Amino acid sequence: MDPNIPEALRRFDLTGRVAVVTGASSGLGAGLARALASAGARVALVARRYDRLVKLADEIGGLPVACDLLDQAQLEALVPQVTAELGGPEILVNVAGDIFSRDPAEIEPLDAIRKTLDLNLVAPFQLSQAVFPHMVAAGRGSIVHVSSISGQVGFPGYPQAAYAASKQGLSGLTAELAVQWARHGIRVNTLAPGFFRSEINDELYEDERFRAWLQRNTPLPANAGFDDFAGAVLWLVSDAGRHVTGQTIAVDGGFTTQ
Ligand SMILES: NC(=O)c1ccc[n+]([C@@H]2O[C@H](COP(=O)([O-])OP(=O)(O)OC[C@H]3O[C@@H](n4cnc5c(N)ncnc54)[C@H](OP(=O)(O)O)[C@@H]3O)[C@@H](O)[C@H]2O)c1
């Protein structure tokens, strides 16, 4: 890094650090993978749609890794593959997530509830376990889970009970891992996005009434882009955030504060 860059900014430098980003084939994950790569990290780009990962790797470098996180064997193979090809991860950002039912809670199907918890909560837990020995060996590490403001607040008219439960579960996991692993120099935090237009919610944004409702209920202008999320990730995974652990931080333009 350029020695003329002030010390305060140099703390964001990730040169040489290996980062695993799940959900890198679209939306927030692709956006923050770009940001991590621009700060010098060697990024493992993880998702099911391999063609998209290859395209992103052509653009920013890094290692595309096809992995269905709902497939236990593929999940277990992920960190060993990354370690063999890039080195031991010092950064893990668990972005991959989905919603499997839009039914009201009283009739949400059990298989959808289980799938939601498996992808959104159990997979991040297991990947945290998988990177743990590498972070211990390095004497440092940063894990960021991407949850949601769903569950911090309910959304009348948009039922999502299992999704909200899975996302709020990440905050409990975060506090516990942060305390258990702090002595190894490992920090664990959760970022809770508000509304960012992506494949997961594109349909909603097609609805003019939704866009007007969002505008009315968001103190900052409600047109956030992926870069507006990536900055918070960069802070948490770099030395700039080295005294922050165990936190859940909303990146929502103030939606949950009013
Ligand atoms: N956008 C928002 O407003 C918003 C708000 C709150 C929370 N979030 C959370 O932010 C995260 C990213 O969302 P996004 O908006 O960027 O949505 P997105 O564009 O739909 O991205 C979801 C990512 O998860 C990956 N994924 C889904 N199922 C997977 C599986 N079984 N195995 C591996 N990867 C899988 C997808 O890749 P493949 O399909 O290629 O596997 C994709 O890269 C999610 O956890 C979401 O819940 C988003």
- Between CA 228 and CA 17 the distance in angstroms is 22
**Cα→Cα distances 42→13, 134, 183, 195, 256, Å:** 12, 15, 25, 28, 34
The rounded mean pLDDT for the chain is 97
pLDDT of residue 223: 87
- Between CA 201 and CA 55 the distance in angstroms is 23
- Asked if residue 31 lies in contact with residue 232, where contact means CB atoms within 8 angstroms, the answer is no
- What predicted TM-score, i.e. pTM, was given to this entire model? 0.98
The full set of domain ranges for the chain reads: 11-251
- Between CA 170 and CA 56 the distance in angstroms is 27
**CB-CB neighbours of 5 under 10 Å:** 11
Give me ligand 1 centre to Cα 33, in Å.
13
CATH number of the domain located at residue range(s) 11-251 in this protein: 3.40.50.720
pLDDT of residue 119: 99
Active site annotation includes 205: no
Q: What mean pLDDT do residues 190-196 have?
A: 97
Which atom, in ligand 1's list, is nearest to the CA of 149? 6
Give me ligand 1 centre to Cα 229, in Å.
14
pLDDT digits (tens, 9 = 90+) for 70-117: 999 999 999 999 999 999 999 999 999 999 999 999 999 999 999 999
pLDDT digits (tens, 9 = 90+) for 228-253: 999 999 999 999 999 999 999 999 99
Give me ligand 1 centre to Cα 31, in Å.
12
